[in-house]
Amino acid sequence: MNCSIVSPGQNLQSWQKTGLELVANIYGGRDVVLAIDLTESVGLNDEGRIRLRQIVQDSLRPGDKVYVVPFATIVNPLKPQINPLTVEGAVKFNGKQDISKILELIPFKANLTLQNTDVQRAELFIYQNLAQINQCRLEKNQAIKPQSVIWITDAPLLTAAGIDSNVWIETPRDSPFRVENSEESERRISWINALPLNNRKLLIRTENGEEYQLAVVDIAPTVQEFCTPAPGGRETCLVNSYLGKLLWLPGLIFLLVFIGFIVGVKKWMSLQKKWELVVDFTATKIEEDQVCRLPNNKRIAIGEYDEFCVDSIDTPGPEIRGFLIRKGNRLYLEPTGDAEIYLNGKKVSIRTLISSSQVRLNCPYGRNRDYEIIIKIKK
């Protein structure tokens, strides 16, 4: 694996666990181990084969890495020189085309030449190596993954340190795992305590009335934290800097998307709001103001009533002089050319943007050259 050998570290903070889960969810994929007891006492029956195929065919997702780990007295007894739990030896699942490749690696039949199942040795091997895989990813600033072990065995799992024949008779007498305080037993227990394990099991009955279990042990995405005192009263840790390197870009993208979402919602809300146009006729000696409400993409007629407008502002003469048109958050004055209209003292002949919140319109007619209204725009 070309990275430092890992040992159980210190407890993670809750925010660090959340950060590691975010890394795993963002980058995707899982490590899935199929740990299969090869001894005759298991010997997968029809139900066991069906359920194992079901796991491979229905539960794997693109991006998963699959490891097949057979075990008995030792791990991988048919090829003991090969470590089956390396990234290089995994089968990457990209879709249904990889199902047959994985099924070919699974030993569906017991090996009659093998006896005794040292399940605690298998547990130490699998849990320690899975931790090593994620720790290597941490060192290389690669995304860690959630991990799952599917056990097919009749041996008891996650037992206390040391195991006697009353609990499990098959463990070899010379196995260090029979001794509670042996280095191997203590290392196994330390890994079981260090990893966030969630165990579920299903008992399967064989034709001769015996039972074995299909157990799934899920491991939340995690790494081992090591914080070390550093000069200057400081402390150097592994996880904090790792999370910073893996999450800064997704965090920036999320922040930009969030800001864009907020801006978009505000813009959408502003477009849904009806503007209020207060028309002041004081200069024409009409004391009562007219209030018009203008939705987006609608218009108000200046002059005569128009059936395609939401409202109209009365001016002298039978003509429609123009329209106040709202486009998004912009308001335009568009003359019809049928009669003169002045905006803030200037004659308007083309569509003109109204940029202020109060405007003055002059609508001369006949001898009445000074007909003036003031419009206050409330957005």
pLDDT digits (tens, 9 = 90+) for 329-373: 999 999 999 999 999 999 999 999 999 999 999 998 877 777 889
Phi, psi of 357 (to 5 degrees): -90, 0
Sheet strand arrangement including 372-378: 290-294, 275-280, 372-378, 358-362, 342-343, 346-347
Phi, psi of 15 (to 5 degrees): -70, -30
pLDDT digits (tens, 9 = 90+) for 128-147: 999 999 999 999 999 999 99
Alpha-carbon distance of 202 to 116, in angstroms, equals 22
pLDDT digits (tens, 9 = 90+) for 147-194: 999 999 999 999 999 998 888 999 999 999 999 999 999 999 999 999
What count of residues does the chain have? 379
SS3 track for 5-23 = CCCCCECCCHHHHHHHHHH
Between strands 320-327 and 330-335, the pairing is antiparallel
- Residues near 166 by beta carbon (within 8 Å), at least 6 away in sequence: none
Q: Which runs of consecutive H residues, i.e. helices, occur in the chain? A: 14-27, 46-54, 99-105, 119-139, 183-194, 239-272
Look at residue 198 and give its three-state secondary structure.
strand
- Residues near 175 by beta carbon (within 8 Å), at least 6 away in sequence: 118, 120, 121
Q: Which runs of consecutive H residues, i.e. helices, occur in 166-238? A: 183-194
Is the full-model pTM beyond 0.75? yes
pLDDT tier at 2, thresholds 50, 70, 90:
confident
Q: pLDDT at position 1, please?
A: 56
